[in-house]
Amino acid sequence: MRCEPGRGPPGGGTAPRAVRVEEHGKLDLERELRTGVPEVILAEGKSVDEVVSLAIALHGATGLAIVTRAGPELAERLARELPVKYHARARIAVACSRSAPREPQGTIGILTGGTSDIPVAEEARVMAEALGCRTVVEHDVGVAGLHRLTDALERVGREADVLVVVAGREGALAPVVAGLSRQPVIGVPTSSGYGYGGGGEAALMTMLQSCSPLLTVNVDAGVIAGMMAYKVLAAPRGTGD
């Protein structure tokens, strides 16, 4: 699902800087105009009623509401009120009523170390596609069997302008890919590991300590990785004059 970039509320007019939704909070309606990425509602820590109220207000003002970390019960409630597409594995609900799709900004390649990393990778994929990017995905190509990476990286590398590498445990896949690829690489450590350095700690340290040039986001931050990959592609280029 791709949505037209925000230009204020549907039907024209100018969106205010923020709108209060009862006692639930303030929505930053100018975020997309200011930063290039839209306001996103994190469902974690909020009640179903709070999230639904915020999503209705955001969608009404901008034509787009993205809710992250949304479970099935919340998605069902949202679907009663809004034209929602729910991505269960990513736990993201997207409601878009903008009149025209974005033009594709480019292609983002997404690689995962193992199957347990897929939910975080799906966060990145759904966010990137909502922002207007194509994606190409290869799962389960971690360093425990480097032979799996060769063909996957060749295919993804032919198509992708930016790479998002999602890996838990020791997180070595991201530095390896960064050392083999011409594209910018965004590393996403996941909390899939256990024991000493588990919960994403070792993966985060590995990516931060990488000798290969690598941008690293926080543990399980697939949404942020998708946004940053989009921003890399959407950044203005010089004319060369």
Where along the chain do its domains lie? 18-96, 107-234
Residue partners of 160: CB distance under 8 A and separation at least 6: 107, 108, 109, 136, 183
Q: Would you say 90 and 123 are in contact if contact means Cβ atoms under 8 Å apart?
A: yes
Question: Is 137 a residue whose pLDDT tops 80?
Answer: yes
- Burial group, residue 147, by CB count within 10 angstroms (0-12, 13-18, 19+): exposed
pLDDT tens figures, 143-193: 988 889 988 998 998 999 999 999 999 999 999 999 999 999 999 999 998
Question: Considering the entire predicted model, what is its pTM?
Answer: 0.86
| 3 state SS of 187 | strand
pLDDT tens figures, 193-241: 899 999 999 999 999 999 999 999 999 999 999 999 999 998 776 555 5
Please state which of the four CATH numbers 3.10.20.740, 3.30.1370.100, 1.10.3720.10, 3.40.50.1970 is assigned to the domain occupying 107-234. Answer: 3.40.50.1970
Question: Is 23 a residue whose pLDDT tops 90?
Answer: no
The span from the first CA to the last CA of the chain, in angstroms, equals 36
Rounded to an integer, the average pLDDT of 72-80 is: 95
Q: How far is CA 90 from CA 20, 27, 140, 185, in A?
A: 28, 23, 17, 21
Token pair belonging to 27: 């929505």
Q: How far is CA 3 from CA 33, 54, 94, 114, 140, in A?
A: 14, 19, 10, 30, 30
HSE at residue 173, side-chain half, CA atoms within 13 A, is 33
User: Most distant CA pair in the chain: distance in Å?
Assistant: 55
Token pair belonging to 48: 């179903």
Distance CA 100, CA 132 (A): 11
pLDDT in the model for residue 134: 93
